[in-house]
A and B are shown apart, each in its own frame.
Chain A
Amino acid sequence: MAQKLFHIFRNTPLGRETLLQSIYFCQKLSVRPNIYIPESTKFLMYFENDVVQVDLDPSYLNDPDTAVAHVEQLLEASKIKPDLFTPKNYTASTLPDVPTSFEFMCCPRSISDLSSKIGLGYIGPRVRRIIQAARFPVLITSPVYKPWQTIAAFFGGSANAVNALRLGIRLAKVTGMTLDIYTHVGKNTPSEYRSIVQDKGLDKPLKSVLNQWTFFEKGRFEDNLYDVPHNALVVLGAYGHGIIKDIMFGSMMEKIQSTISNNLVIAGPKYTMLG
């Protein structure tokens, strides 16, 4: 059964870069892009136990007359049959419901002044709520089209990091690329991290795709990120902290996305591997 990536198209040069990223991702993973050209700046996503309102910035409604043609042009250039999403259900007349039954979703980074924020438009916390509630991983693209040649997974030993590692292994297998793992050594020793992987039964599948496992034992986490290849698709788990913890200690996800410009795939706490 064809897996889908849900992409919200913005009819601007930045939107074109983002769509190119999604197309590249889809080609590498044999996933179908499902494109939504929004007609209003807000929509609702109903998850299992949460409803998230996504507020887009007005640039998503730019020049609607050419939007479909631009999407078709980009997809046809990549030999992909356009598959446009049209909302069927509306909570209110200007508030369409977007289903949550796809396998991946693309959320572009914001180009607002707050470069540490990611967002569908300007509201970063919305994307974080999507990640928290969704069963699918979220692709956060780099600001310009940037094909990736390897996979890099961040692994900190938590349950979500194990989830992310599982996703990294899957992506590496499907794309035929190698996987690098990066661990910022904290409470555990490198051998303890390896035994976590072993306990979860990931050591065997990892063997076939692992290129190298790097342990950052010194220095600040942000500084060590320089070692992550610029052409890697970075896979990480969202840790599912509450807002208070994030405000007090900062979010690892925000730290990573504001330091490196790679494409990111983020698996949330409810991510379940399909296929």
Chain B
Amino acid sequence: MTGFLNKMKYPGRWSLFRSDDRLLLMIFAIIVGICSGLAALLLNRGLETMLEWLHHYRFYWWAIFLPAAGAALSSLFLEKIVNEGAGHGVPEVIYAVSRYGGLLRLRSSFSRLISSFLTIGSGGSAGPEAPVVMSGAAIGSNIAQAFSLNDRQRVALVGCGAAGAIAAIFNAPISGMVFAIEVILGEWSTMNIIPIAIAAVAGTEVSRLLKGNQIAFAHRDFNIHFHDILACVGLAVFCALVSILLTRALRSMHHVSKGVTLPLWVRAAIGGSMVGAIGYFLPYVLGEGYHAIRTAIEGGFSGGFLLVTVIALVKVLATALTLGSGGSGGIFAPCLVIGAFVGLSFHRFMAMVWSSVHWVNEGCFALLGMAGLISGILQAPLTGIFLVIEITGGYEVILPLIVVSAISTTLCHYLEPASFYLKDLVEQGQLLRPGTDARVLTDLSVQELLETDCICVHPDMRLVDFIDIVKSSHRNYFPVEDQQSRQFVGMIHLDDIRPYLFDPAMHHAVLTGQLMNPHVKTVSLHDDLSEVLQKMDADHIFSMPVVSYSRFLGMISKATLLDQYRKELMVQTGRF
């Protein structure tokens, strides 16, 4: 029995998969796609039920406290029950993929589903997509852990989980696939694309089986002219500015909330009650906002330019209040809502200024605004394009979609070099995409590069004896250790003895202790190689001694580092 269980635990060792693990990954991709799809649908169905049930109470004055209660409960659940750090989780997934081969905690597979259900279901302005991505990724990671798959396979299954979840929640397999590769993994390799595509299909099929094959935001046909495409340039600029505004508002609110010395659940409740108060007057800003998107795309929104613009800006504020103060959820759905209203607002502005021009239906601009916002805030143009095409079934808008997504992404990248998901990771130096300088240096360690063929000398050695050692060594650096304690006391470089080398009178008079540099900069075993390289570059040196607890361990040189760097880079990029 134990033997059978052990065999089950290591499917990579089964004869079927031993020669090629692609089949193994495909099978696991189906399982992960189905599980993450089910998780996504569970949250989606839960939210629909909850929002429908609470809809009847929205007109009472006390309804302003519903988002407060939801955010507080969500925060308490995350902090006290599952003991998990708050947040919508996508940066955590990217961090785990970058640094730890996609290792994620089991609790993450359900914690964000419950907490975001409480936040969004009660009316908080956030989206369910990031929580389902977190959940799907954690499901993939934990399945990989349970079956002892290696790092590369685990990362692929994390991507599968994210793809399955997005594919299921939007009935959009290509978007799921592109999101997982473009945003989560940041690496387009065949090894990942195939299982991720399979997981996306599995997630979509689960969704179609349980919800039916529906387009999330159906719309009428659009007759797009050249002047509409030209106008898209302006819309893209508008979208980029609002994306930056949303990014900064979310981060500022988070910093403001962090500075308040109240328990997290109280802060979340305060943020939630403010959202509730706003929602009492402008119900469009509450919840995930899919209903508002449908109305905007169908061209059925009756408010004027001012009202539409105010809704877009207030939605930015409500999202910042919900997520910045400690509520749980993602920014995907709010981006779609804000984008739709930005598109409407822009259309109305154009219609006001150039009233004689026959513009395409405003629903088209709402749809383009959604793509502009998603592309801008995630700096992921392909995700924006495919998502909007799939959720609206609007292939005829592909040209303006590409224009808006490309320009919005470029402008946002210019103003904010890192996307919303990556900003914190970049600031902390934790974004380690495969094949990048930071990742290669992180995957190497000082220990691996240690050169131990150095000859140690002691400070009381006469120069004549030292010259004998130099003759038998091929190195230019000589570490000096105290004879009794064996502690590292300094370093002698060949250049240091050159002035005395040709003066035989000095050979018996000078001691190595007088020649050594006692203030030489050292490296410790646990230093990051990026820091080591920085030190070498700053001081124009090519070798440094590695010292641990005052003991000399060896040398680290730029030549060895770059040699190993090249080898590691070839492994990571698959180019030999």
Question: Do A and B originate from a single complex?
Answer: yes
1/0 per position for B76-102, CB-CB distance to A under 8 A? Answer: 000000010111000010011001100
In the complex formed, the residue of B with least CB distance to A52 is B105
1/0 per position for B284-323, CB-CB distance to A under 8 A? Answer: 0000000000000000000000000000000000000000
Residues of A near B107 (CB, < 8 A) are 53
In the complex formed, the residue of B with least CB distance to A245 is B2
A46 to B100, CA, bound (A): 7
B549 touches A2 (CB 8 A): yes
Do A49 and B148 contact each other (CB < 8 Å), given the known contacts A91-B85, A92-B87, A92-B92?
yes
The minimal Cβ–Cβ distance linking A62 to chain B, given in whole angstroms, is 19
Residues of B near A50 (CB, < 8 A) are 103, 145
In the complex formed, the residue of A with least CB distance to B100 is A46
A90 to B91, CA, bound (A): 11
In the complex formed, the residue of A with least CB distance to B144 is A49
Asked if B361 CB lies within 8 Å of chain A CBs, one says no
B553 touches A90 (CB 8 A): no
Asked if B551 CB lies within 8 Å of chain A CBs, one says yes
In the complex formed, the residue of A with least CB distance to B107 is A53
Do A93 and B85 contact each other (CB < 8 Å), given the known contacts A1-B548, A49-B145, A81-B549?
yes
Asked if A89 CB lies within 8 Å of chain B CBs, one says yes
How many contacts A-B (CB < 8 Å)?
Answer: 44
Do A53 and B148 contact each other (CB < 8 Å), given the known contacts A92-B85, A93-B85?
no
The minimal Cβ–Cβ distance linking B24 to chain A, given in whole angstroms, is 16
A89 touches B551 (CB 8 A): no
A2 to B524, CA, bound (A): 12
Asked if A32 CB lies within 8 Å of chain B CBs, one says yes
Residues of A near B551 (CB, < 8 A) are 2
A91 touches B92 (CB 8 A): yes
The minimal Cβ–Cβ distance linking B258 to chain A, given in whole angstroms, is 8
A46 to B95, CA, bound (A): 12
Interface residues on B, range: 20 to 34
A211 to B525, CA, bound (A): 39
Taking a contact as CB atoms closer than 8 A, the residue among A1, A46, A55, A99 that contacts B553 in the complex is A1
The minimal Cβ–Cβ distance linking A209 to chain B, given in whole angstroms, is 28
Residues of A near B100 (CB, < 8 A) are 46, 51
A90 touches B428 (CB 8 A): yes
The minimal Cβ–Cβ distance linking B94 to chain A, given in whole angstroms, is 11
1/0 per position for A81-109, CB-CB distance to B under 8 A? Answer: 10100001111111100010000000000
A44 to B95, CA, bound (A): 13
1/0 per position for B104-116, CB-CB distance to A under 8 A? Answer: 1101000000000
A55 to B104, CA, bound (A): 16
A44 to B85, CA, bound (A): 11
A1 to B553, CA, bound (A): 7
A-B contact pairs, 11 of them (CB 8 A): A42-B83, A44-B105, A49-B145, A49-B148, A55-B83, A83-B549, A90-B428, A92-B85, A92-B86, A93-B85, A99-B526
Closest 8 CB pairs of A and B: A92-B85, A51-B103, A95-B85, A46-B100, A2-B549, A94-B85, A55-B83, A46-B103
**Interfacial residues, chain A to chain B (CB-CB below 8 A):** 1-2, 32, 42, 44, 46, 49-51, 53, 55, 81, 83, 88-95, 99
